[in-house]
C-alpha cells in the first residue's frame, strides 16, 4: 500500500508539474505561432492558434526590415565582455572575502551585500550624468563598464562556494611555496567551476534581455542591442506584430541554447553554494 501510495503521489506531483510547464509554455507557443501568421490573423476573435496559411517569410522579413544582424553582434560581444569581466572580478572579490583575513572584512561584506537592495532606477540618474561628463553616451562603454564591475550577487554566490573549500588545501599550497595569486588561479578557480558556470549563465541571460540601460544610454540604431531593435517594430500609430513576434522568436534562440546547455551547471552551482555556505 505504501509503495502504491508513493507511486500515486509521485504521479500526481509529475502531473501538476507537467500542467504548470504547459501553462508557462503557452505564451512562447503563441509567440512562435503568431510569427507564422499574417497580420489579419493575429487579432481574430475567437483566437485561431494554427496559422492558415503559414507565412514563413515573416522570419526573413524581420531580419531584413531592420539591421538585426548588427544588433545580434552588438548584444553578443557586449555579453561576452561583461560575462568574462564579472567572472574575473567577482571571483577575486569572493576569494578575498572568503579566505583572506583583513580588518573590517565582515562589515565590508555586509555593506557590499546591502547594495543588492538598491534598485537600479535609483542610481541611473547619477550614472547617466557620469557617462555624459566622460563622453560615453551613445557608446557601448556606457553599457559594458558599469555591468562589468563587481556584482554583489555574483560575489555572494562565489564566496559561499569558496567557504566550502577546506582550508587545509590552501595551507598545504602555502607550505609548498605558493603565493596568493597561484592559489587563486591554480587551486581555487578549478574547484569552483560549477559556481562560475552558473554565474556566467545568469549574467549572460540578464545582459541579453537587458532593455532598460540601452534605452537610457544608446541613441543610434547601429549601436542598439536585440531588445532595443525589437522595440523599433512598435510604431507611433501601429505595430507590426507578426514581424515583432518573428524577431522575438529568433532572439529567444541564444537564451534557450544557453539554458539547455547550462541547466545542469545552474542547479549544481546554486545547490552546492547553498549547502556549503
Average pLDDT of the chain to the nearest whole number: 84
Residue 145 lies in a domain: yes
Cis peptide bond upstream of 77, omega within 30: no
pLDDT at 133: 92
Determine contact, residues 208/228, Cβ cutoff 8 Å. Answer: no
- What separation in angstroms does the CA of 230 have from each of 37, 55, 61, 115, 216? 18, 19, 13, 31, 16
Which carries the bigger pLDDT value, residue 103 or residue 44?
103
pLDDT per position as a tens digit, 87-114:
999 999 999 998 888 888 888 988 888 8
* Reduced 3-state DSSP string for 47-104: CCCCCCCCCCHHHHHHHHHCCHHHHHHHHHHHHHHHHHHHHHHHHHHHHHHHHCCCCC
pLDDT at 277: 42
pLDDT at 3 over 60: no
pLDDT at 276: 45
pLDDT at 205 over 60: yes
Residue 228 lies in a domain: yes
Task: Please give the backbone phi and psi of residue 239, each rounded to the nearest 5 degrees, phi first.
Answer: -130, 130
Largest CA distance in the chain: 75
pLDDT at 74: 92
pLDDT at 270: 59
Taking the C-alpha atoms of residue 147 and residue 213, their distance in angstroms, rounded to an integer, is 10
Boundaries of domain holding 270 = 63-276
Task: Please give the backbone phi and psi of residue 237, each rounded to the nearest 5 degrees, phi first.
Answer: -115, -15
Residue 37 lies in a domain: no
Grid cell 509529475 is found at 14
Q: 144 in helix, strand or coil?
A: helix
Residue 19 lies in a domain: no
Residue 41 lies in a domain: no
Mean pLDDT calculated for residue range 256-277:
66
Residue 179 lies in a domain: yes
User: Which of 84-88, 118-122, 261-265 is predicted most confidently?
Assistant: 84-88
Determine contact, residues 8/16, Cβ cutoff 8 Å. Answer: no
Q: Which three cell numbers stand for residue 225?
A: 542591442
Residue 16 lies in a domain: no
pLDDT at 66 over 90: no
Determine contact, residues 184/89, Cβ cutoff 8 Å. Answer: no
Residue 40 lies in a domain: no
Q: What is the CATH number of the domain that holds 128?
A: 1.10.3720.10
| Domain count along the chain | 1
pLDDT at 2: 47
Determine contact, residues 199/157, Cβ cutoff 8 Å. Answer: yes
Q: What is the band of 36 on the pLDDT scale with cuts at 50, 70, 90?
A: confident
Taking the C-alpha atoms of residue 251 and residue 272, their distance in angstroms, rounded to an integer, is 31
pLDDT at 196 over 70: yes
Q: Which three cell numbers stand for residue 272?
A: 552546492
**pTM tops 0.85, yes or no:** no
Amino acid at each position: 500500500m505504501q509503495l502504491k501510495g508513493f507511486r500515486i503521489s509521485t504521479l500526481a506531483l509529475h502531473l501538476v508539474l507537467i500542467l504548470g510547464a504547459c501553462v508557462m509554455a503557452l505564451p512562447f507557443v503563441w509567440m512562435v505561432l503568431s510569427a507564422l501568421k499574417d497580420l489579419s490573423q493575429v487579432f481574430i476573435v475567437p483566437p485561431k492558434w494554427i496559422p492558415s496559411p503559414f507565412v514563413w517569410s515573416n522570419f526573413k522579413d524581420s531580419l531584413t526590415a531592420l539591421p538585426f544582424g548588427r544588433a545580434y553582434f552588438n548584444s553578443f560581444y557586449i555579453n561576452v565582455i561583461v560575462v568574462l569581466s564579472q567572472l574575473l572580478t567577482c571571483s577575486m572579490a569572493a576569494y578575498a572575502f572568503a579566505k583572506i583575513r583583513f580588518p573590517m572584512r565582515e562589515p565590508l561584506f555586509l555593506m557590499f551585500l546591502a547594495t543588492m537592495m538598491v534598485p537600479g532606477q535609483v542610481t541611473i540618474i547619477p550614472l547617466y550624468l557620469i557617462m555624459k561628463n566622460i563622453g560615453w553616451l551613445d557608446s557601448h562603454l556606457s553599457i559594458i563598464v558599469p555591468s562589468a564591475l563587481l556584482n554583489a550577487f555574483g560575489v555572494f554566490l562565489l564566496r559561499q562556494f569558496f567557504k566550502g573549500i577546506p582550508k587545509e588545501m590552501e595551507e598545504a599550497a602555502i607550505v609548498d611555496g605558493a603565493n596568493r595569486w597561484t592559489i587563486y588561479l591554480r587551486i581555487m578557480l578549478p574547484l569552483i567551476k560549477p559556481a562560475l558556470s552558473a554565474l556566467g549563465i545568469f549574467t549572460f541571460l540578464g545582459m541579453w534581455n537587458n532593455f532598460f540601460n540601452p534605452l537610457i544610454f544608446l541613441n543610434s540604431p547601429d549601436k542598439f542591442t536585440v531588445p532595443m531593435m525589437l522595440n523599433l517594430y512598435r510604431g507611433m500609430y501601429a505595430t507590426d506584430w507578426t514581424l515583432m513576434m518573428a524577431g522575438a522568436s529568433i532572439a529567444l534562440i541564444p537564451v534557450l541554447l544557453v539554458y539547455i546547455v547550462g541547466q545542469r551547471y545552474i542547479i549544481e552551482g546554486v545547490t552546492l553554494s547553498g549547502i556549503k555556505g
